[in-house]
Homo-oligomer: A and B are copies of this chain.
Amino acid sequence: MTKALYQQIADSILEQIQTGALEPGARLPSEHDLSEQHGVGRNTIRHALSELAAKGYVESVQGVGTFVTETLFPKTVEFLYGFSQEMAQRGKTVGSQILEAKIITADPFLARILRVQLGAEVVFLNRLRLVDGKPAAIERAYLPHNFCHGILEHDFSKESLYDVLAARFNMKPDHAEQEIGAEIATPQVAELMDLEYPAPVLVIRRETRTAEGRVIEYVESEFRADRFRFYTNLKATASSPGAVFQRFPIEGLQES
């Protein structure tokens, strides 16, 4: 399966940019010239260039030409860890209290997120996370059951979910998409976390995948906003994972 022509051309130009053969600010050959060089139509070149432009690698100016973007920066490098590892790294003691741990069936929302059939088995793990012995977060994890049969034999009040997934099922998280919002804790959540109304919580929804793109888990968490903040580095990259503000993208699972 070969890539589309315009993709190959975009890749080839991108490579020239990344190797420095084309320096920032440099002007690309005209679309006409590129089409002759590659022996393809101008449309195909434009398709390739518009891909690169969408990713921020190049900029086109009508009547002038197409240029390598000046402010192009190296890729963001960001670790993806589970809660346990993140806290351990920070020298905290982590504990968990299991609220629920069972097999449920996929409703339409879970089916879509986890890429499983409607009604398929889903592992549901609901935990109160403790840091230094005090309530820190509530974490509801949903995993497709098909790749992790028997996972509930483990005691996740002691073991780390990510450790078990890696060691026993060879599922290693590679990347994730995550959404962070703020809400007022519901009475149930507030009570579990020993908070008094009204208390703000950080609501985090995360979809974790393997390198192959397989969905490992979908997690919804509420963190005590008085104890936790989310910290991140941003790069002014054009193409790499970064962070943006998103308006109203939420639907699906709600607080029970």
Contact = CB atoms under 8 A, between A and B. Distances in A.
A80 B231 contact: no
A219 B87 CA distance: 27
Contact of A238 (B24, B78, B90, B252): B78
Given A72-B207, A229-B245, A231-B244, A77 B174 contact: no
Contact of A247 (B83, B178, B198, B227): B227
Interface string A180-215: 111110000000000000111111011100010000
A207 B73 CA distance: 9
Contacts of A178: 231-234, 243
A235 to B, nearest CB: 5
A16 interface: no
A154 interface: no
Given A177-B231, A227-B247, 4 more contacts: A73-B174, A179-B230, A181-B202, A181-B225
Give the 7 A-B residue pairs with the shortest CB-CB distance, closest first. Answer: A78-B242, A233-B241, A77-B238, A182-B182, A182-B225, A80-B236, A198-B198
23 contacts: A24-B251, A54-B54, A71-B172, A72-B179, A72-B207, A73-B174, A74-B249, A77-B240, A77-B242, A78-B244, A79-B238, A79-B240, A79-B241, A81-B244, A92-B247, A175-B233, A175-B237, A178-B232, A181-B225, A182-B182, A182-B183, A200-B200, A229-B246
